[in-house]
Amino acid sequence: MAVVEQDREVAESRAEESSRGIDVAIAGGGLITVLGNSAEETWDQLLRGESISDHSMVNKQWGGTSRVVGLAIDAAREAVGEAGWSDEQLQSAGLVIGTSKGKIVDWIASAEADRSGVGAVANEVAMELGLEYGPRLTVSAACASGLIALIRGALMIKSGEAKRVLVVAAEASVHQMFISSFRRLGVLPPAGQRCRPFDESRSGFLMSEAGAAVCLQSAADGSSNDVLIEKMAMGGDATHLISGDDQGRTLRALLSDVIDGRPVDFIHAHGTGTISNDATELNAIEDCIETVGGMRPPLYSHKGALGHSLGAAGLVSVVINRMIHEKNTAPPILGESLMTPKHVELNRRATRSKIRRSLAIAAGFGGAMGALALVSH
């Protein structure tokens, strides 16, 4: 027994050393949203201050496949193309899919639909892109799915489980059943009102579709221009099935870990535009940022422009953050009567400044949440 315990301690020590020694880089990114069929198209619309005015679907059709799979494949192809991975490299790459509902709209529409579960999306993406030998899994953690999928993919590289990992998040569940369900929960705005995160007159979020993808690899195998995943943390708030702790204690713990007492240049909040989420999240962010001192980073949520893509939203945030690092520009946050924070900025106009370190936050019903810090190489 002592020998077994000793061997386990040695293995854990080596795993910890490996985890500390490997920097994970984002080598490519892809995005398809209700405002654009690529990352650049979406970015241009964000800078212009465009936004959806109702629950919205991506303006594209995919013949012969489900919408969620089409979104996933489109985003993945863009990310792989930017990363420049060869067919041989793809064959052995790991794959992590994040989605909250998978192909559920297909199930609702037809009694003949494939009901093999959320994992079916990963299988179809792998087949389409030629991922044959690497590890493959699906993460379903409500609206934190995309960000937690990214963290899981980064851990694969840090542990040596895979040399390259394609992380994809996709959501296609803009359906009257879910719209009605969310309306009964009181998290959607009245008809005709837009989603306005961190606004005094906020009243809820608009549902939307999206696909997002990133290619992860060791920083040693990439470019000096790659954005790195510096710190990451996951947690569970078990306060309530759909309501979070109004003190934000789990979120504060995650933010304290990833901020680590050091400067942050940009914060991409979960920011759903609901009464309770935004107030709790803003208080937690402000308290954690205040400890750093002397800084007022921009606070942003893409949901005011793109809506809430549920399981894809966390990875959408990361792809946008990566572009913010590359372009040293922060998109405007949309609102009419923005809240007045003390330690962060809510900017109605796009702002230019050097972005060295950024945060992304995601949370979901059931209490799953994650946060991570990205840094410029």
Residue type, 259: I
What pLDDT shows up at residue 293?
Answer: 66
Query: Residue 207: what are its φ and ψ, rounded to 5°?
Result: -75, 145
> What 3 state SS string does 315-352 have?
HHHHHHHHHHHHHCEECCCCCCCECCCCCCECCCCCEE
Cβ neighbors of 28 (< 8 A, separation 6 or more) are: 78, 79, 80, 81, 82, 83, 84, 85, 214, 215
Q: What's the CA gap between 209 and 305, in Å, rounded?
A: 12
pLDDT of res. 64: 80
**pLDDT score, position 331:** 97
What residue type is assigned to position 82 of the chain? E
**Which residues are within 8 A (CB) of 142 and not within 5 positions of it... i.e. 6 or more apart?**
100, 310, 311, 364, 365, 366, 368
Looking at residue 245, its pLDDT comes to 84
Tokens of 168: 């994809």
Beta strands in 62-123 (DSSP E): 94-98
What structural domains does the chain harbor? Answer: 11-221 (3.40.47.10), 227-376 (3.40.47.10)
- The pLDDT profile of the chain, 377 residues, written as one tens digit per residue, is 333 344 444 344 444 444 457 999 999 999 999 999 999 999 999 999 999 999 999 999 998 889 999 999 999 999 999 999 999 999 999 999 999 999 988 888 765 556 566 568 999 999 999 999 999 999 999 999 999 999 999 999 999 999 999 999 999 999 999 999 999 999 999 999 999 999 999 999 999 999 999 999 999 998 878 999 999 999 998 887 777 788 889 999 999 999 999 999 999 999 999 998 999 999 999 999 976 767 799 999 999 999 999 999 999 999 999 999 999 999 999 998 999 999 999 999 999 999 999 999 999 988 899 999 999 98
